[in-house]
Chain A
Amino acid sequence: MEDNTITARTYGRHIVQVPSDVSFCAGCNACEIVCTLAHDGVVGPCYNRIFMEKGTHSMVTVIHSCQHCSDHPCYEACARKDHAMCLDENGVVYINEENCIGCKRCIKACVFDPPRINYVKSTDKSKRKAKKCDLCRTRPEGPACVQYCQVSCLSLSDK
């Protein structure tokens, strides 16, 4: 659940879930799936950059995504800042995975619970990487999760 103490923060453009009086998340996982397919060519829970909090018994699903905080504490905490965690000209906080050493500092620094950064566990150290939403910054069609949400309950905030 969102931490109320951070509501005063300012955020950049980010993925938002449309309130349920407009559209109700079907809980289909499509957003997670297309995100990992578009970025990594795989489907797997460690690769998600958008997170579903599925109320398995309530059957009500809440979507969590990176808010691209304007003070970006994850970026500040990165051991390889500007090489691994990077900021682009639009304020998008993204990871250059080639340079990510998998130290998890960014995950610990994320101000949200659950953190909006995922982590690939692997016995192979070189494969341990942090994964986070980059707003599909290099994808010509824009955010894949928004494009493929079947009930149009995701959109890009205009902040």
Chain B
Amino acid sequence: MDKLYGYVGKIARINLTDGTVSIIPTSNYVPKYIGGRSVCNKIFWDEVKPGTNAFDPENKVIYMTGPTTATGIPTGGRTVFTSISPNSLPEQYAWSGIGGWFGAEMKFAGFDGFILEGKAAEPTYLYIEDGEIKFLSARNLWGKLVHATQRRLEEIHGQDVKSIVIGPAGENLMRNASVTTSNDNVAAKAGLGAVFGSKNLKAITVRGTGTVVPADINKVLELRKKMSHPPMIQRPIIQETHHGVPGAQSEVSGGWQRAQVACSYGCNQHCMCLMLDMKSAFKEEKVNHVEKCVSIFAFGFSQDVPYGGPGGVGGVFQTEQNHYPACKMLSREVDPPDTSDPYFELEFAPGPGDILDFWKHDFDKGNVINDLCNEYGIDKWDVIIWLLPWLSMGKKEGVFADIDFGMEIDVESEKFVRYLIDMIVYRKGYYGNLLAEGMARAIRVLGKEKFGDTIYHGRYSRMIDKQLDLPISLETAWGHSVHWQGRGFEASIAKPAWVATNLHQMTATRDTQTIQHHHDTFENYLQLKDDPCRSVLTARGVIMGEHKAEMKDSVTCCDWQSPDLFWTDMEAQMFTAATGIPMSEEEMNLAAERSRNLFRAIIIRNYERTRELEVNAIFPIMQYPDPWGETVTWDEWNDLVDLYYAERGWDKETGWPTRETYDRMGLKEVADEMELNGKMPLIKK
């Protein structure tokens, strides 16, 4: 290949054990593997064998930009890490996206991505500048909080460097530790910050003066215009009097100031808001804080978000007139709903959220929780949606009577929250050490029956006027807590939506959101709504969503941009604009399916994944009722799994792709290896 537009052409193999660097041409992988996660999957498949654990030096952290990164194509600032996730149960290969300015700077420095191998002998950080990679001592950085580390790196190397760092949580191998940019973009899912920690790697700092050349500049500019719908309006700083999502807001004494920031290089989306002058957990002065999705629940969590029709507030099922990605409303940057839509009333029928009674609204405490997570470098999700609700529900049900954390459990108290998170991050005492292993592992050590499955009696559905069972642990599958899965938290989506989300989760290795929020058309909803488990449309909708997620993480772009169900070749257009390589919608779908099946092959080969494992992992959470009192039966669920596997070209008994499926997407060598390993389903006549 002469020139690969959109890319800079090199992937760095960085060996932390012996301090060496070698270069792999990006064209070894692209265009067959588009970029981002798809390239990572291929590298992991080739290089990391079964039996490797998350904290082994043999585990690799693979980081990739995509063809759009730093080309000016909106949301292309997002990039992806993959590795063996310490937070998954069991540890498995997983991925995490990250926004910010780091990915673009990597390209300016001459690299499309890197593979981190081995383990440094002492705390180390990498300094990358214009093609050169230096291994520097991080002795003076080890132990520092996230922002202090970022600041120190800017003092040493100059204001204009871009860094990703881990905090004390990653250093102490807390299993849900994040990797963080200076403006709090995080790779939080999967706990890859702890893999950095296990490699004695504190940070990667980069500066580049090179260029990225997109193939078709007019097309890039056209995409910039077209993708920014609805257009942003002038955005002044707004003085807010309340905080929360519409329908579940609380007054904030003295109010607060809201502004709007972009989260990654070249982004034109509207997904988050900037909260100015918030209380810090560490400093006297106030800090600015980005609010996105889960943050909002740190402040107050006494009721679930109100329902908004069968699609719920996320707009899971969309019409051409009304299609908003889930959570986009956080920035309040969406057009008002179009009431001329024939399905408007069905789509937006309001309903009250469940009463949960986890904790009352406390603005300052919410800020402190967010700041603690930011500075220690922890996935907020696990703290806000799992740890704290577990303590709240468990306390009310009396399961912690014999547990002595050294301070009385009280999630309403800022002092307790500070004490608790500090104890876990620094692994203080028996319980600090235990909870640093992640909620799933901790609950199993304590005894799942009591500490996971005990019923909380405080959940109340105002939809059907009834108290509803909820376990005190909001665990779903693979060691992660529920996320848009119709249980306890974000229960506000109805069965047609949550069966789809649970199916997404079933074949994953981590929390599938946010890169895989389920979306489907309202036309499909009308056909599948009465029996979603027996409709092939549910399976097809999930497969479409999974492929779009592979594309999003490969092209790369973001969940607030994609999928656009009414502009279906958007990602293919992005790829072609960046690289100049013609790519049709069909070819893009095939590339996504290839990436998906390669991921499938990895988890079958390396982790013995089977249908039985998958169904057993996901089924229990769906035995607790949604706000309408709905669950799934064993037969219903298995019927849906049958439909899904058949649509995928995977064997119904084992869940393994057939040779024909691998061959169809040009993965013959994968099929051969699977056959050698005895992981190829037997063809039945």
Contact = CB atoms under 8 A, between A and B. Distances in A.
Interface of A: 18, 20-24, 26-30, 33-34, 37-38, 40-47, 54, 56-60, 121, 148, 150-153
In this complex, which of B71, B233, B235, B274 has the most chain A Cβ atoms within 10 angstroms of its Cβ? Answer: B235
A30 B259 contact: no
Nearest to B220: A37
Interface in B227-279: 228, 231-237, 259-262, 265-268, 274
A58 B232 contact: no
Nearest to A119: B209
A128 B260 CA distance: 37
Contacts of A20: 236-237, 259
Contacts of A40: 211
Given A30-B266, A34-B72, A42 B234 contact: no
B224 A22 contact: no
A44 B234 contact: no
B232 A59 contact: no
A54 B228 CA distance: 22
B259 A24 contact: yes
Contact of B213 (A24, A41, A59): A41
29 contacts: A20-B237, A21-B237, A24-B237, A24-B260, A26-B232, A27-B262, A28-B265, A29-B104, A30-B224, A30-B266, A33-B266, A34-B224, A37-B214, A37-B221, A42-B211, A42-B213, A43-B70, A44-B108, A45-B108, A59-B183, A59-B261, A59-B290, A148-B221, A150-B232, A150-B262, A150-B268, A151-B232, A151-B260, A153-B234
A153 B233 CA distance: 10
B247 to A, nearest CB: 26
B151 interface: yes
Nearest to A61: B261
Most buried by B among A28, A57, A153: A28
Nearest to B182: A56
Nearest to B181: A56
B234 A22 contact: yes
Contacts of B220: 37
Given A37-B214, A57-B288, 5 more contacts: A23-B235, A26-B261, A29-B262, A57-B147, A59-B261
Given A44-B211, A57-B147, A26 B237 contact: no
Contact of B71 (A43, A47, A60, A150): A43
B288 A59 contact: yes
Given A22-B234, A37-B72, A152-B234, A57 B209 contact: no
A54 B208 CA distance: 17
Interface string B139-181: 0000000010011001000001000000000000000000000
Nearest to B210: A44
B4 to A, nearest CB: 15
Interface string B94-115: 0000000100100010000000
Contact of B183 (A29, A46, A56, A148): A56
Interface in B204-223: 208-214, 217, 220-221
A72 to B, nearest CB: 27
A107 to B, nearest CB: 15
A28 B234 contact: no
Contacts of B231: 150
Given A41-B217, A46-B209, A148 B234 contact: no
B235 A42 contact: no
A150 B271 CA distance: 14
Contact of A28 (B214, B266, B288): B266
A60 B71 CA distance: 24
A37 B224 CA distance: 12
Contacts of B288: 57-60
B265 A29 contact: yes
Nearest to B262: A28
Nearest to A20: B237
A44 to B, nearest CB: 3
